[in-house]
Amino acid sequence: MKYAIIINTKDPETMWNAFRFACASLSKGHKVSVFLLGPAVEIDSVDSSKFDVKRVVQRFIDLGGEALSCGTCLKIRKMGASEACPLSTMDTLVSLTEDADRVVSFG
């Protein structure tokens, strides 16, 4: 199964849970793409002692997941893409959702 996961928040607990779901899906053999939208593109600045977002994102990447960031959302914030979540477009998000068997949204 192919999952497209859209994250539209920088709330640490929500991001942590979204990537935990993504990792669990990958572990079961599913293909997973994560698209960061709106405030979620600020993922590199998310810091929480309770929810280790950076660790779970790294696990997601190590498991072979694909994460992308909305280029317009980055531009609005005068940010560049990160290595973990390269710059992408709304057209790519449309393609991800068209190709997915399931679309899951967090935030």
Q: What is the pLDDT of residue 81?
A: 80
Distance CA 55, CA 51 (A): 9
Predicted TM-score (pTM) of the model is: 0.94
pLDDT at 82: 79
**CB of 5 closer than 8 Å to CB of 34:** yes
pLDDT at residue 84 in the model = 72
| pLDDT, position 83 | 76
| CA atoms of 23 and 21, how far apart (whole Å) | 5
Rounded mean pLDDT for each run of 10 residues along the chain, 107 residues in total: 98 98 98 97 94 96 95 94 85 97 97
**Secondary-structure class of domain 2-106 per CATH:** alpha beta
